[in-house]
């Protein structure tokens, strides 16, 4: 029963959502209701996370075998959690703290950035010190690491170790040169417009490969969903076979 | 009257957007194929199927073995999305197999997570896996712990764990965003063998550049079936391949058809071409 009941609920919920997609007029706002339930359950689940965070870090900071730096980090985590919660409860959080600017590329949310406007408006201790002066710079610092990591990863990826890597290197070189005015200027000597080749690589070769992967991902998603609906996939509830 | 009204309500979305009907028919077709193969496998009509080798999945044993030899832990990162994301579910299926291997080799498995529900499910999955191979004594719930829901906070914390623990193998399997390269490059600098898998098309190039093996897109969804010894699990790959063949046939047919129409515009006057063109425009164009 421990496994059958979750599988039954999964199947019923999945079928209802599919029916709602195909026959929205018949099934009403069932998806919205289920989404609301998910939000409520997730809100309760955050308590589990916080409890786990406190227990794990308390244990780390009290255990004699833990390294000194591990202990220090654990103490900082617990202190930050307690301090932020207390200040948040006392001073409250302004509603516009929820506002985010998100870049949307190919239907994926890529880089969430905090809207600068509320940074100017909020002046209480919570948003003013903890959020604006600690959280945001730390977040930006971690994000900025990406620039250096892209450079190091690109250096390794573009080394022409074999034929495939050579093609990758050549494509990258063509695209980079095609994106800057000097590229066309250099290649005009040979009568080649490199920006056109660059556009062709991006809009034809790259787009075709990306779409092939996307279609396969879509089918893979359907199959996993069917496995869940038919009760073939049970590992998320503990397979136990 | 009642049935007529219900039928009218049911037909409305198809009138407004006929491509929904195509999606529905496609889903029903895949479901029937899926059910047919599962049924055949259950009845013992299909005993074994040929599966193409996927290097990233073959290298899991190598990665676990290497960590064991070096006496280093294994780090498993299930992405930053919640349990409602299909990639996270696929990741947890793979985790089940890896946890069994780590239990057999007696290697430490560390799993920091960014969602509390994922943490709870992962604890259950790992516990079951350890129990399955008879090593429940090795299971430690505190090795699967919650860090933060924040994207870069999580990335920074995992980077810290990689730098301090120096894992022998790192698995980055699930849904990742901008933190993918931050994690993968730190793992590379720690000298760990890295196996990644994601269906986030924007993050795949980063993983390919920084990791040793990558499960590209649908390979992630096929992973648990590939690694399973159960024919009912494996047979789902057959449905996946047949579905791909159906879609490829459609794409090929429509591409040839449209090219013919562009090259020979007079063909549009023929009734056959006219009907096909109308069907494509009505049902295969998203409105």
- Band of the pLDDT at A108, cuts 50, 70, 90? low
Q: What is the distance of C-alpha B29 from the center of its chain?
A: 21
Supply the CATH number for residue B222's domain. 3.40.50
- Domain boundaries, position B113: 55-227
**Residue A94 confidence (pLDDT):** 58
**Residue A98 confidence (pLDDT):** 43
**Residue B110 confidence (pLDDT):** 96
Co-location of B150 and B220 in the same domain: yes
d(CA B252, CA B234): 28
Question: For residue range A184-214, what is the model confidence (pLDDT) as tens digits?
Answer: 999 999 999 999 999 999 999 999 999 999 9
- Are B90 and A204 contacting, i.e. CB atoms less than 8 angstroms apart? no
Co-location of B185 and B117 in the same domain: yes
Co-location of B147 and B268 in the same domain: no
d(CA A149, CA A79): 31
β-pair partners for B112: B145
Co-location of B244 and B181 in the same domain: no
CB-nearest partner of B31 from A109, A226, A233 = A226
What tokens were used for B145?
């712990």
Helix or strand or coil: residue B193?
A: strand
**Residue B19 confidence (pLDDT):** 83
The sign one gets for the Cα dihedral B192, B197, B200, B205 is: positive
**Where is B129: in which H helix or E strand?**
helix B116-132
A76 has a chain B CB within 8 A of its CB? no
Mean pLDDT value across chain B: 91
CB-nearest partner of A238 from B116, B124, B233 = B124
- Are B215 and B56 contacting, i.e. CB atoms less than 8 angstroms apart? yes
A59 has a chain B CB within 8 A of its CB? yes
What ipTM describes this predicted complex?
Answer: 0.89
d(CA A184, CA A232): 56
- Band of the pLDDT at B112, cuts 50, 70, 90? very high
Co-location of B84 and B171 in the same domain: yes
Q: Which of A134-138, A182-186, B46-50 has the lowest mean pLDDT?
A: B46-50
Instruction: Between B103 and A2, name the one with better pLDDT.
Output: B103
At B285, give phi and psi (nearest 5°). -120, 120
**Residue A131 confidence (pLDDT):** 80
**Chain B contact set for A221 (CB, 8 A):** 86, 199, 221
d(CA B176, CA A135): 21
What's the rounded mean pLDDT across residues B96-108?
A: 95
Q: Which residue's entry shows tokens 């047949």?
A: B242
Co-location of B172 and B237 in the same domain: no
Q: Does residue A110 have a pLDDT over 60?
A: no
Q: How many CB atoms lie within 10 A of CB B200?
A: 22
**Chain A contact set for B232 (CB, 8 A):** 232
Domains held by chain B: number: 2
**Chain A contact set for B202 (CB, 8 A):** 105-106, 108, 110
What tokens were used for A179?
């994106």
> Domain ends where: B184, B200, B227?
B227
- Band of the pLDDT at B137, cuts 50, 70, 90? very high
Highest-confidence range of A163-167, B154-158, B233-237, by mean pLDDT? B154-158
d(CA B90, CA B75): 17
Question: For residue range A27-47, what is the model confidence (pLDDT) as tens digits?
Answer: 777 888 888 888 888 888 888
d(CA B117, CA B155): 18
- Are B199 and B85 contacting, i.e. CB atoms less than 8 angstroms apart? no
Q: Enter the pTM of the model.
A: 0.87
Question: For residue range B273-282, what is the model confidence (pLDDT) as tens digits?
Answer: 888 888 888 8
**Residue A106 confidence (pLDDT):** 56
A151 has a chain B CB within 8 A of its CB? no
pLDDT exceeding 70 applies to what percent of chain A?
83
A216 has a chain B CB within 8 A of its CB? yes
Q: Does residue A236 have a pLDDT over 80?
A: no
Q: Does residue A144 have a pLDDT over 60?
A: yes
Question: For residue range A46-95, what is the model confidence (pLDDT) as tens digits?
Answer: 888 999 999 999 998 888 877 788 889 999 999 999 998 888 888 776 54
Co-location of B188 and B242 in the same domain: no
């Amino acid at each position: 029963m421990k496994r059958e009941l979750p599988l039954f609920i999964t199947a019923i919920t999945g079928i209802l959502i599919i029916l709602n997609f195909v026959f929205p007029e018949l099934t009403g706002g069932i998806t919205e209701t289920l989404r609301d339930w998910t939000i409520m359950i997730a809100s309760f689940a955050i308590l589990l996370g916080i409890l786990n965070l406190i227990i794990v870090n308390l244990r780390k900071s009290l255990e004699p075998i833990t390294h000194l730096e591990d202990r220090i980090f654990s103490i900082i985590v617990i202190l930050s959690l307690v301090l932020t919660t207390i200040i948040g409860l006392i001073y409250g959080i302004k509603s516009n703290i929820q506002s985010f600017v998100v870049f949307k590329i190919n239907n994926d949310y890529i880089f969430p950035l905090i809207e600068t406007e509320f940074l100017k408006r909020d002046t209480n201790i919570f948003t003013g010190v903890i959020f604006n002066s600690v959280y945001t710079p730390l977040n930006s610092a971690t994000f900025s690491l990406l620039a250096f990591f892209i450079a190091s990863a690109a250096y390794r990826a573009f080394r022409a170790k074999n034929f495939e890597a050579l093609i990758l290197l050549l494509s990258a070189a063509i695209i980079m040169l095609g994106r800057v005015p000097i590229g066309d200027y250099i290649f005009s000597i040979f009568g080649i417009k490199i920006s056109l080749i660059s556009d062709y690589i991006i809009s034809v070769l790259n787009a075709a490969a990306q779409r092939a992967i996307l279609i396969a991902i879509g089918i893979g998603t359907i199959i996993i969903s069917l496995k869940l609906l038919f009760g073939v996939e049970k590992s998320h509830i503990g397979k136990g076979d | 009257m009642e049935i007529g009204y219900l039928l009218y309500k049911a037909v409305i979305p198809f009138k407004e957007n006929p491509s929904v009907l195509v999606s529905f028919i496609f889903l029903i077709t895949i479901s029937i194929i899926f059910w047919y193969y599962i049924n055949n496998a259950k009845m013992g009509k299909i005993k074994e199927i040929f599966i193409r080798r996927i290097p990233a999945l073959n290298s899991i044993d190598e990665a676990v073995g290497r960590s064991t030899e070096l006496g280093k832990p294994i780090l498993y990162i299930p992405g930053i999305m919640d349990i409602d994301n299909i990639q996270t579910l696929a990741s947890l299926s793979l985790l089940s197999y890896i946890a069994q291997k780590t239990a057999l080799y007696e290697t430490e498995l560390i799993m920091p997570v960014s969602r509390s529900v994922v943490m709870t499910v992962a604890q259950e999955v790992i516990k079951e896996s350890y129990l399955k191979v008879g090593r429940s004594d090795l299971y430690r719930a505190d090795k699967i712990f919650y860090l933060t829901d924040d994207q870069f906070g999580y990335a920074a914390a995992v980077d810290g764990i990689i730098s301090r623990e120096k894992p022998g193998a790192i698995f980055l399997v699930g849904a990742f965003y901008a933190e993918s390269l931050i994690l993968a490059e730190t793992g590379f600098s720690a000298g760990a063998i890295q196996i990644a898998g994601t269906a986030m098309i924007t993050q795949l190039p980063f993983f390919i550049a920084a990791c040793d093996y990558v499960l590209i897109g649908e390979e992630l969804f096929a992973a648990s079936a590939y690694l399973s010894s159960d024919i009912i699990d494996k047979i789902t790959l057959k449905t996946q391949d047949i579905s791909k063949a159906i879609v490829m046939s459609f794409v090929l047919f429509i591409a040839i058809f449209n090219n013919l129409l562009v090259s020979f515009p007079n063909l549009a006057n023929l009734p056959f071409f006219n009907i096909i063109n109308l069907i494509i425009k009505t049902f295969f164009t998203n409105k």
